[in-house]
Amino acid sequence: MTGHPQHSVAHQHGASVEHTATHDHIAPDPSLSPADHWEQRYAGQERIWSGRVNTTLADVAGSFPPGTSIDLGCGEGADVLWLAEQGWQAHGLDISETAVDRARAEASARGLNNASFTATDLSTWQPEPGSADLVTASFFQSEVALDRMAILRRAAAGLRPGGHLVTISHAAPPSWADHHPAHMIDVRAEAEELARPAAEWAVEVAEERPRPADGPDGAPGEHLDAVVVLRRR
């Protein structure tokens, strides 16, 4: 799945961008596969996300020395492109061919030869062991089937010692919304579950962070992000 303004429910798309105020959530068609769901969603609009890096990710990853990164559910690639601009060998994965094509086009337009993208179903994707210094998953939450924790654990297995896993998730609905289709994440439970076995992982961050945002009517509001940063020992 893919994607996100950063405010979607993220999807297997990682979301990497801030949600646009005009974006509406549409109930998924149960007859569609996850791949068809996300492909239909991306193909149905010229652009879904804002194209800006998620500010929480930038705050967290900005302190890490550049290396090799993998972004899960990269959507149209904003987080990957930002990491590439910071000097990372940045790779994005998303289930939607349309999203990946848009990300590649933007990387080419910016001359970012160190940003690459692959269209793949993360439910079957396997990382190369010890191949990454950073794995990111922004708003990796989905309104269609997604074995989120299994994918995060599998991706974390691709980290080198000293590498970081960063997840940024919806901890609460937007301040202007009574209901939100994404499953909300308990940040402490998330950190505890991902940091197993404890001998292999150090929890560096497990907290909720408010982030300013504009509501659909343009009025100022707020998102609450669940931020987890683990370091492989």
Domains and CATH numbers, the chain: 34-232 (3.40.50.150)
pLDDT at position 39, please? Answer: 79
pLDDT at position 89, please? Answer: 98
The position carrying tokens 């202007």 is 176
Q: What would the pLDDT profile of 127-151 be if each residue is shown by its tens digit?
A: 999 999 999 999 987 766 678 999 9
pLDDT at position 141, please? Answer: 79
Taking residue 157's Cβ as centre, other Cβ atoms within 10 Å add up to 17
Q: Work out the end-to-end distance of the chain between its first and last CA atoms, rounded to an integer number of angstroms.
A: 30
The answer to whether the CB of 184 falls within 8 A of the CB of 170 is: yes
pLDDT at position 7, please? Answer: 30
Return the biggest CA–CA distance within the chain.
48
What residues does 214 pair with on adjacent strands? 220
The answer to whether the CB of 10 falls within 8 A of the CB of 4 is: yes
Please list the ranges in the chain whose pLDDT falls under 50. 1-24, 49
pLDDT at position 79, please? Answer: 97
DSSP sequence for 114-173: TEEEEE--TTT--PPTT-EEEEEEES---SS---HHHHHHHHHTTEEEEEEEEEEEEEE-
- H, E, C per residue of 37-62: HHHHHHHCCCCCCCCCCCHHHHHHHC
pLDDT at position 181, please? Answer: 64
Global pTM value: 0.84
Q: How far is CA 22 from CA 71, 179, 213, 214, in A?
A: 25, 16, 13, 10
pLDDT at position 148, please? Answer: 92
Q: What would the pLDDT profile of 112-123 be if each residue is shown by its tens digit?
A: 999 999 999 999
